[in-house]
Amino acid sequence: MLQVYNTLSRNKEEFQPLEGNHVRMYVCGPTVYDYPHIGNARSFSVFDTIRRYLEYKGYRVTYITNFTDIDDKMITRANEQGISVSELAARFIVEYNIIAEQLNLKPATVNPRATEHIDDIIEMVELIVKNGKGYAVEGDVYFDVSEWKDYGALSKIQADELSAGARVDVDDKKQDPRDFALWKAEKPGEPSWDSPWGKGRPGWHAECSVMGKAYLDLPFDIHGGGQDLIFPHHENEIAQSSAAYNVDTPVKYWMHNGFLTIDADKMSKSEGNFFTAREVLDNYDHQAVRLYLVSGQYRQPLDYNQKALEQALQSLNRIRNVADTLRGRISILEKSGGHQSKVDDQIADAIRKVREGFEREMDDDFNTPGALAEIFTFVKSINTYTVDVDGAAVLREALSVLIEIVGILGIDLVSTGKDETAGDMGTLKAIIELMLELREDARVNKDWSTADKIRDRLSELGISIADSKDGPTWKMS
């Protein structure tokens, strides 16, 4: 029986999807204004592992992770670099996709962008105001926290304990310092959209509420993210989604991963004590990084240091080596026409135990450290008995089970050792296709400057684009 820790109840609960065998899951994705740091990569990897295990259990998972491509950080960084917000977003969406492939993340069912859902956001804000839970002031629209009696249920922060400046934006136009922005009036030099309150843009919290509903409906099963999103982001999501759409709770299970730390201090861009995911992945085996990121229980802090990464590489090599041992022994036995022996029973027993143990640990709120311990017990058994096994069939099963269960953790034993040039070309093609998609979006929005810039930059890299009624095509010069 799968048990999941629910941040809302602060308890482990039996996992029961709302809709039969279908799990609807939303994980807050990156704000694409900068390179993801390795702490962000932990969140990406943790929830990818959770998704993989749910699929292993037989669930059909609809997995949504978004790109926040309009907010204060986006605008500030774009202005600093003298480029448009859409150009900034295009650059770091590409970066995210590179990191995602290197970490072996399964593609999301959909990667929505906030700017694709402006009309939906406006509609939600209108509903909140209509239902008496929001108010407009000089083009800004705020959520009225005093009208929401359950505010603080997720974070366990009482509404009257909040004060301006303590993760609450200071704004003289608010009726109460605790109120948060649903819609922000246009400011000079900022992207804006028409709305019933004048030109403006969405508040950050509104974006995820709308995208979750758009792709998963309400309520849905799992909403995930880092612990830093519990308050105010996810607290505000609950309030505005419930107020707009008249649901008791928009999400059944709220799940949050622990911070990545450096010498026990939270890794943070604002504190300057962070490493980008690119820096780490450029210097370490990608799969070893992935193994490190899921090696700790996801709700607990995980300390980043070189020794931990080296230990992850050693652990990965143990797994790779035993897979190679199995392949070698299978090949020998298939050529010699081996037969079943009593030692085969030892391997068969180890196979049964590793699957049972792995599932037992993962059913306990996705306890990856316990699952890894079961895997290494299995590795030890294989190393002990394989040389004496005379039948190939049981070894093929052992290899298959090993590939399957470490695959749930995001470790790919199948492609290890394959020609990486093909993988690099696949990555390049994916990046080019993404750039063409962003160019088409710019053309649809009549952002000719961005569209031309993408075309010209690709041309400088030797990639020519031809437009046709059926869409753009490209070739390498």
Domain residue ranges of the chain, discontinuous segments joined by +: 3-293, 306-408
Distance CA 325, CA 345 (A): 18
| pLDDT the model gives residue 419 | 40
Least confident of 210-214, 249-253, 372-376, 429-433: 429-433
Exposed/middle/buried for 32, CB within 10 Å: 0-12, 13-18, 19+?
A: buried
Any idea which residue has 């599932």 for tokens? Answer: 359
Average pLDDT, integer, range 136-150: 95
CATH 1.10.4100.10 fits 3-293, yes or no: no
Tokens of 58: 């037989």
| pLDDT the model gives residue 446 | 85
Question: Is the confidence at residue 78, as pLDDT, over 90?
Answer: yes
pLDDT level of residue 167 (50, 70, 90 thresholds): very low
Per DSSP, which regions of 112-217 are E strands? 134-137, 140-143, 180-185, 200-202
Any idea which residue has 């929401």 for tokens? Answer: 148
pLDDT level of residue 421 (50, 70, 90 thresholds): very low
| pLDDT the model gives residue 462 | 75
Average pLDDT, integer, range 98-110: 97
Output the pTM of the full model. 0.85
| pLDDT the model gives residue 332 | 83
306-408 CATH, one of 3.30.1370.60, 2.40.10.10, 3.90.1150.10, 1.20.120.640 = 1.20.120.640
Average pLDDT, integer, range 206-217: 98
Average pLDDT, integer, range 445-461: 85
SS3 call for 465: strand
Least confident of 79-83, 173-177, 361-365: 173-177
Question: Is the confidence at residue 250, as pLDDT, over 80?
Answer: yes
82 conformational bin, left if phi > 0, alpha if psi -120 to 50, beta if neither: left
Tokens of 45: 């990897």
Distance CA 130, CA 150 (A): 19
Mean pLDDT of the chain: 90
Distance CA 234, CA 224 (A): 9
pLDDT level of residue 102 (50, 70, 90 thresholds): very high
Per DSSP, which regions of 407-458 are E strands? none
Question: Is the confidence at residue 442, as pLDDT, over 70?
Answer: yes
pLDDT level of residue 216 (50, 70, 90 thresholds): very high
| pLDDT the model gives residue 65 | 98
| pLDDT the model gives residue 163 | 53
Tokens of 369: 């450290």
Highest mean pLDDT (candidates 299-308, 430-439, 454-463): 299-308
* Nearest in space to 179 (alpha carbons), one of 127, 139, 235: 235
Average pLDDT, integer, range 92-107: 97
| Residue 258 · residue 298 · CB < 8 Å | yes
Question: Is the confidence at residue 20, as pLDDT, over 90?
Answer: yes
Distances, alpha carbon 211 to alpha carbons 122, 141, 188, in Å: 12, 19, 27
Average pLDDT, integer, range 41-56: 98
pLDDT level of residue 69 (50, 70, 90 thresholds): very high
* Nearest in space to 30 (alpha carbons), one of 206, 164, 229: 229
| SS3 labels along 243-285 | HHHCCCCCEEEEEEECCEEECCEECCCCCCCCCEHHHHHHHCC
| pLDDT the model gives residue 418 | 40
Neighbours of 418 (CB within 10 A): 10
